[in-house]
Copies of this chain bind each other. A is one copy, B any other.
Amino acid sequence: MKQDARKRITIDHVARRAGVSKTTVSRYLNGHYEALAEQTLKRIQEAIIALDYRPNRMASGLKRDRSHLIGIVVADITNPFSTAILRGAEDVCKRHGYSLMVCNTDNDPAKEREYIFMLQAQRIDGLIINTTGQNNEFLHQLAAEHTPVVLVDRKVPELGFDTVGVDNEQATAEAVHYLVEQGYERIAFFSEPIDGISSRMERLISFQNVLRRYGHCSVSDIYEIDLRSEKQLEKKLDAFVHSSQDQSRVLFAANGVILLQLILELRKKGLQIPEDISVLGFDDLDWAPVVGPGITTIAQPTYEIGVTAMERVLQRLEGDDTPARQISLSGQLIVRGSTPSSSKPDGNGSSATTKSI
């Protein structure tokens, strides 16, 4: 019935051709060279090359209960933040002979759940996840099956998993501190909905803490934007812009997505950066230097987050059963022209200063 009668090459063919048993071939495949006569070793090598044999990972996976697959679940694969993490994870993965299964949830808990199920069905060996926080039960299940789970960007304390992300508290504090010192009278915090998302929460809290320490009036200039609804951003930005008429003011964008949306909206309104309003954003996107006078940003070590998360998974896989670790990598404030000192309304122009924090 099948088109091609010639079956695929299996370990049996290799064994036959090398004149040994498949056990012996298997030993070779798994690097037990100590237990092989030089003669047989060579014969096996030759047979493998001659037949162009490729071991079947489904078979060995079934037997050993190891798929060599690592799942990675991100909120939005088109977000540069996610892809940088992906790339970091991928590089490490490859080096260790694992492959990545990538899943995109759009922050939808239902989609996330479906993906977790799929990944479980594939018997992934480990999982890196930027979770919505709504599927803790299923994540727990994974862990109970001894599948290491590492959370990136977002923490869920009750899960007790390893966690990797930027140090939001420090990075935000540094940036807000800087803005206050630049003399801004009004500093607005724009974020996607906080929900229970730890990274957003941490940034908000740090933002408010710093302002409170300074006795700054902007403690309540907080705007949560659901980008799925058309006009929210426009309205809320309007509200802030009008309420801060004639004051020196700056927008703190809590992530790269909201940063871009804010800049688009400012442009639509004909507001100039920084003449009419200043801007600072979390996430140092590649276009930040070329928009307006250059956008001041907080650079996240996204690639390293991916690398670190993946390394954590591999360590767990190798038997590390020390308590869960919360790993925070530090961010870096990159000052550009979008946040000039508010007394002297001009500034550094296109030069960029970086400041480790």
> Is A325 part of the binding interface, using a Cβ–Cβ cutoff of 8 Å?
no
Q: Which residues of B contact A59 (CB under 8 A)?
A: 62
Residue among B80, B94, B121 making CB contact with A55, cutoff 8 Å: B121
- Copies of this subunit: 2
Residue among B54, B119, B141, B287 making CB contact with A291, cutoff 8 Å: B287
- Do the beta carbons of B84 and A78 come within 8 Å of each other? yes
> Is A126 part of the binding interface, using a Cβ–Cβ cutoff of 8 Å?
no
In the bound assembly, the distance between CA atoms of A111 and B119 in angstroms comes to: 25
Nearest chain-B residue to A86 (Cβ)?
B77
Shortest A33–chain B CB gap in Å is 20
- Do the beta carbons of B102 and A57 come within 8 Å of each other? no
In the bound assembly, the distance between CA atoms of A131 and B8 in angstroms comes to: 25
Nearest chain-B residue to A66 (Cβ)?
B58
Q: Which residues of B contact A345 (CB under 8 A)?
A: none
Q: Which of A52, A77, A263 has the most CB of B within 10 A?
A: A77
Contact with B along A48-79 (1 / 0, CB 8 A): 00001011111101100001110000000110
Contact with B along A77-115 (1 / 0, CB 8 A): 110100110110011001001011111100000010011
In the bound assembly, the distance between CA atoms of A151 and B109 in angstroms comes to: 33
> Is A123 part of the binding interface, using a Cβ–Cβ cutoff of 8 Å?
yes
Nearest chain-B residue to A104 (Cβ)?
B90
Shortest A12–chain B CB gap in Å is 15
> Is A134 part of the binding interface, using a Cβ–Cβ cutoff of 8 Å?
no
In the bound assembly, the distance between CA atoms of A141 and B8 in angstroms comes to: 12
Shortest A255–chain B CB gap in Å is 14
Q: Which residues of B contact A100 (CB under 8 A)?
A: 101-103
Shortest A72–chain B CB gap in Å is 9
Residue among B58, B91, B118 making CB contact with A99, cutoff 8 Å: B118
- Do the beta carbons of A58 and B62 come within 8 Å of each other? yes
- Do the beta carbons of A117 and B54 come within 8 Å of each other? yes
- Do the beta carbons of B77 and A83 come within 8 Å of each other? yes
The 5 A-B residue pairs with the shortest CB-CB distance in the complex, in nearest-first order = A287-B287, A102-B102, A58-B62, A58-B61, A78-B83
Q: A residues engaging B (CB < 8 A)? A: 3-4, 8, 52, 54-59, 61-62, 67-69, 77-78, 80, 83-84, 86-87, 90-91, 94, 97, 99-104, 111, 114-115, 117-123, 141, 145-146, 260, 263-264, 267-268, 285-287, 289-292, 350
